[in-house]
Amino acid sequence: MNLPILEDVEYRPAASRPGTAAGSRSVYIETYGCQMNVADSELVASILNESGYQITTAAEEADIILLNTCAVREHAEERVIGRISQLNGLRAHRPNLTLGVLGCMAQHLSKSLPVRAPFVDLVMGPDAYRRLPEILAQSSDDALLDVRLDRAENYIGVNPVRRTSTNAWVTIIRGCDKFCTFCIVPYVRGRERSVSAGETVDQVKRIAQEGFKEVTLLGQTVNSYREGDTDFADLLREVSAVDGIERVRFTSPYPVDFTDRVITAMAEVNEVCPSLHLPVQSGSNKQLDTMQRGYTIEEYRELIRKLRIAVPNIALTTDIITGFCGESDEDFRLTYELMEEIRYDSAFMFKYSAREGTYAHKKMSDDIPEKIKGERLQRVIKLQEGISREVNRQYIGQTVEVLVEGPSKRPAKDGQPRFYGRTRQGKTAIFTQEIQRNEIVNVRVADTTSHTLLGEIAE
């Protein structure tokens, strides 16, 4: 959702704004980044609802605008700075508007953000959301700041306000202990801590009662989960056993912590979808060591081999970084050849961008020219597009189970509306028959692209 850039107005600090009761104040929340941020926005909505604030879907109507942000890539931060500057223009008509930045970017840029965006009223990290009502009730001439990391904060007892959809996000582990040299996440989300199995299962039961058929378990290293004697394999089985839940997904697992017990659970439990995002980042052992990933490419290959034996119809996706510190032509060749070998269904591919605060930014030389980074990125994108197209074509003539998500944004060429949903492998399927959201149907695939399956409801 984009707003026109409005005329700049003089900033009125919070102390000069008349106070209003929470019950008469509306809040608009805009989310950037990963599924963890989506889940956190649902927590924020719940916390504010409980304190009497009203959630709105229109920024123009809000008394408070909160941007929940991502710090993984510099581009995302620049986009948010531009967006918050744009939203500041709404003060031309709503001079008492409160603007806040939440999440990973707020944690990462806690010192520089009030300088870069002096019109922002509050900056709050991902462990401080319980204090939002208290912060919003305060007045200050300066931006109100709360970026304390809290190793005990798992938001137990907060029932998220979920969007109307088919899939519900459930965070089971917060933070990260891996400290990959390129990654900012451990510094902005703190150390790993797992939510109790009982709390997780209770959440999933509420989700099922609300009508959701699919749940996705979330964590920066989701399969590192452990709470007492319960490991991730146990939790997968417990969640899958909840009445009403027909599909269980999880993201993102870390290769080092992927146990045989988890592979067995994926093979044995029908509700666990045959779909897996397993980041590799590079096909070069030298690069993996420089990245401090903790595994070799031989170990990664063996894990893929086990998964494909246990779950023959599994769809695999990954993350690839080109141009990381010291990446030679040979390192890149090994990555390219790994992609040719494994033939991922799809991939998220990026050229390396140093993140301030990471080990790589502080201790390593970002020595690959941007031109080479970009050329390598375009090569792997072109490769993956071709592989994805070929992998998807294997579905032509097959009937796939689809959980319907709603109308497609793009109509058919003849103008007829289309509808879409996702297969158990996580692929988008598009069809013309109108089916209610959250229904499970069979779709016979007639054609494909590199990103979608096209077909009709099977009789």
Q: Residue 413: its pLDDT value, please?
A: 67
Q: What is the dotted CATH code of the domain comprising 14-146?
A: 3.40.50.12160
Confidence of residue 421 (pLDDT cuts 50, 70, 90): very high
Q: Residue 142: its pLDDT value, please?
A: 52
**pLDDT beyond 90 at 21:** no
Confidence of residue 79 (pLDDT cuts 50, 70, 90): confident
CATH topology for 399-457 is: OB fold (Dihydrolipoamide Acetyltransferase, E2P) (2.40.50)
Q: Are 276 and 317 in contact (CB under 8 A)?
A: yes
Confidence of residue 164 (pLDDT cuts 50, 70, 90): low
The share of the chain scoring above pLDDT 90, in percent, equals: 63
Give me the architecture of the 167-393 domain, per CATH: Alpha-Beta Horseshoe (3.80)
More confident: 423 or 127 = 423
> pTM value?
0.82
Strand partners, 106: none
Q: Residue 198: its pLDDT value, please?
A: 95
**pLDDT beyond 70 at 190:** yes
Confidence of residue 129 (pLDDT cuts 50, 70, 90): confident
Q: Residue 23: its pLDDT value, please?
A: 55
Q: Where are the domains of the chain?
A: 14-146, 167-393, 399-457
Q: Residue 8: its pLDDT value, please?
A: 26
Task: Dump pLDDT digits (tens) for 35-76.
Answer: 888 888 888 998 998 889 999 988 998 999 999 887 666 666
Lowest mean pLDDT among 300-309, 314-323, 429-438: 429-438
Task: Dump pLDDT digits (tens) for 218-252.
Answer: 999 999 999 999 999 999 999 999 999 999 999 99
**pLDDT beyond 50 at 3:** no
**pLDDT beyond 60 at 7:** no
Computed over every residue of the chain, the mean pLDDT equals 88
Q: Residue 124: its pLDDT value, please?
A: 85
Kindly state the average pLDDT of the residues 100-114: 78
Q: Residue 17: its pLDDT value, please?
A: 34
